[in-house]
Amino acid sequence: MLTMSTPSRARRTALACAVLLASVLAGCSDRAATPPATGSAASTATAPNTPSIIPAPARLEARGGRFVVDGGTLVTVDGDGARDVALVFTDLLTRAGGVSLVVSERVLDAATPAIRLKLDATLAQPEEGYVLDIDANGATLAARSAHGLFNGTMTLWQLLVDGRSGDVALPALHIEDAPRFRWRGLMLDSARHMQSVDDIKRLLDAMAQHKFNTLHWHLTDDQGWRIEIAKYPKLTEVGGCRIPLGDAGRDPATGAAQPYCGFYTKAQIRDVVAYAAARHITIVPEFDLPGHARAAVAAYPELGVLDVAEPVSAEWGIHTTLFNVEESTLAFIEDVFAEIIELFPGAYIHVGGDEAAKDQWKASPRVQARMKELGIADEAGLQSWFITRMETFLAAKGRKLIGWDEILEGGLPATATVMSWRGTDGGIAAARHGNDVVMAPHDRLYFDYLQSDSPEDTPGRPTANPLRTVYDYEPVPTELTPEQAKHILGAQANLWTEHLRTAQRVERSFFPRAAALAEVTWSPVARRDWSNFLARLPAQFERYRVLGIDASTVAFDARASVRSELAAGKATVTLANQVEQGEIRYTLDGSEPTAASPQYGAPIDAKVADGSTLRARTFLAGEPFGHTLVQALDTTALRRRANHELPPCKPGLPLRLEDDTTIDGTRGVFTIDIFNPCWRYADAELDGITTLHVRAVRVPYAFQLWHDEPHRKFVAAKSAHGEFEVRAGCEGDVIGKADLPADAGPSGILDLDVPLTTTAGRHDLCMIFTGDTRPATWVVAEAALK
């Protein structure tokens, strides 16, 4: 059984400088910079003469010399809007612990060292582009627009921030830079779980330094309505609250219902929008329709198709609740959009359009009669009519409609922009149709998909979108002609928060993968280089730290694969990290690895003994990075598998979920295949084993599956409350069985000792709980052979 220990931050400052790979790197220009050493887990490529800037500039020329920035350095401004840019830049620099700079409108002679910001409408650069020159007399930044000037200050900010305070020596260089794509975005789901205003501002700060220009804000869904609408107060009074399933929805002291509630006031939204605008980030709000409407219909049942009121949902997945298509409902929707438009000045309004299960429309005589009145042949056509109606309304208000790729079905509105999430087909079809497209395919850019199989990763969907997958993504499909490709506005990563209850998990899901997407959407294809990106990334972690962003290190963390031969008292341990970067150092005496510890180069033959522990950690340029792997090598530990070491038995829909204990605080995290709950103890050594000890918990089955319901499988129970069964091989015979109780008792934990009939050889053990998985299902938290 393995665990991971939390890295100390005390040594991060030393790392910030050590990982910079050339003498021109920010803050380290007069220090020796050491590249990561080569080895079994080391990149053989380095980044000579490349400052640690992410995204990589379109053109960078290193020059001789340097410019020292200290507290006496002035930031001078020239041009309307330049002062506003300078004030945000210097504020971010101060808050990051960098040198404090003063903004001045004084005109200095050319020989006076300073940072000069200049707006020049004649500059031959795109709207968001800039030119930066650094030499011994200072840094001169010029751009056509305030947005371009701000982008240039973010490059300067990265050069100036390395986690240390005091003077900084900037390398002499020349940069000409502009983005490849117009839409460079992230999507934040605040409907399922909310984030505080401060959390969102911290995200905006991190986005700004990566030159993102769009935050898509998902504010309404089946599980909550999060935006104040003055004309319809019940949207937040009723729609803003749900009762979580299980213990999370009950007061532990009284047993009374304990709702999960919240929404953003108009004042808060204006504050966030203004904060984003100062960083040249446009917020695109989403009011999802005609599906994902449960919270709105719970508040105002007359908006729905059914005659009965439904509560705000506490379940995830695809619900069948739709808005009806009465004129009164359309007037409600237009009223809501009118208030949304007043809050969000950007060009685009997102209308959702995804996963609108048509069952209620099909079954409703009134909806069918309405379709006949309108001369519409089918429900897909009705949704197209619905979306087109909204497009007309928004256009009259001077706004553009954008929706998920389902808005293609039944006919695409003429000026709609399509956000392609179900792969690339929707984007290809829209571009060929002449509509603009934002690419956001789930299998590349869904950041609620996990980054790795590490126990340190967040809850989410174990279908991994690792760092390399994001970096290698190309937004323009090869199927498009050059003319059609002009409709690809850019790309966006989406973060759905069903399983991301805390701001820390949101940040770990976004970063550092957002850094990879920033480079995909900003840098020219020729400037993208995976090894070079990895060499620049560790310095970026230091910037995340000073911004208060808890970025995930799982791509760099050492992982272990163990093959034991317990009868012989030995085990073979293979170590690796996901990005094959740096060195992995390890110890076998339980001590913390240092730069002097053995470097991993080949599988380790270790002795199995009481108290024997392997620790391993990635080192970059001689400094520890990320978490320390702790792998116990005694017999008891090697016979015990935690939930994350028990993969699903068959392909299905695995999810890494929290349990339901307490609405706040720490919860257990477990992987379960919600289609086929079965856990596999791979390669179990059964010689001399008589018993399998299982620790289990029971969690609510919180999923609406719609047409996927037939994929939900379970074995019928034979006793009152079902049985736990273990098989030798998933298609093999049952070799162990125990009856289950009604529940886990006050502790919430069930311990079972299950006698085994097969006690020899090596086998994959497949474990299930019989009985319906609804309304609650058992989960194997741990399994141990005895």
Q: Annotated active-site positions, please?
A: 221, 292, 355
Residue 785 bridge partners (DSSP): 692
Both tokens assigned to 271: 């504050």
Instruction: Give the whole-angstrom CA distance, residue 681 versus residue 646.
Output: 5
Residue spans of beta strands (DSSP E) within 70-129: 74-78, 102-104, 114-119
DSSP 299-328: H-GGGBSSSS--PPP--EE-----B---HH
Q: Tokens 């937004």 — which residue?
A: 475
Amino acid residing at 650: K
Residue spans of beta strands (DSSP E) within 178-266: 183-189, 214-218, 220-221, 224-225, 241-242, 260-261
C-alpha distances in Å from residue 773, one per residue of 90, 360, 472, 778: 55, 25, 39, 8
C-alpha distances in Å from residue 45, one per residue of 455, 529, 621: 29, 10, 13
C-alpha distances in Å from residue 566, one per residue of 85, 611, 633: 64, 15, 10
Under a CB-based contact definition with an 8 Å cutoff, are residues 7 and 628 in contact?
yes
Instruction: Give the whole-angstrom CA distance, residue 779 versus residue 767.
Output: 10
Instruction: Give the whole-angstrom CA distance, residue 212 versus residue 522.
Output: 9
C-beta neighbour count of 105 within 10 angstroms: 11
C-alpha distances in Å from residue 452, one per residue of 458, 467, 510, 681: 9, 9, 14, 19
Using only C-alpha atoms, the chain has a radius of gyration, in whole angstroms, of 28
Backbone angles phi, psi at 71, to 5 degrees: -60, -15
* Displacement of CA 532 from its chain's centroid (Å): 23
Both tokens assigned to 756: 């085994």
Could you tell me which residues come within 8 angstroms of residue 770 by beta carbon, excluding any fewer than 6 positions away?
A: 714, 715, 716, 717, 718, 722, 723, 724, 725
Angle made by CA atoms 283, 286, 289, in degrees to the nearest 5: 165
Could you tell me which residues come within 8 angstroms of residue 515 by beta carbon, excluding any fewer than 6 positions away?
A: 54, 55, 210, 533, 537, 540
Distance separating the N- and C-terminal Cα atoms of the chain = 15
Angle made by CA atoms 755, 758, 760, in degrees to the nearest 5: 125
* Displacement of CA 752 from its chain's centroid (Å): 36
Instruction: Give the whole-angstrom CA distance, residue 50 versus residue 67.
Output: 17
| Alpha-helix runs per DSSP H in 101-162 | 146-160
Strands 348-352, 400-404: parallel, antiparallel or unpaired by DSSP? parallel
Greatest distance between any 2 Cα atoms in the chain: 89
Instruction: Give the whole-angstrom CA distance, residue 24 versus residue 65.
Output: 9
Give 6's Cβ-side CA count (13 Å radius).
5
Give 451's Cβ-side CA count (13 Å radius).
32
Both tokens assigned to 528: 């993208």
Nearest CA to 550 out of 497, 496, 509 is that of 509
Under a CB-based contact definition with an 8 Å cutoff, are residues 41 and 576 in contact?
yes
Q: DSSP class of residue 125? A: S
Q: Tokens 């707006």 — which residue?
A: 119
Backbone angles phi, psi at 491, to 5 degrees: -145, 160
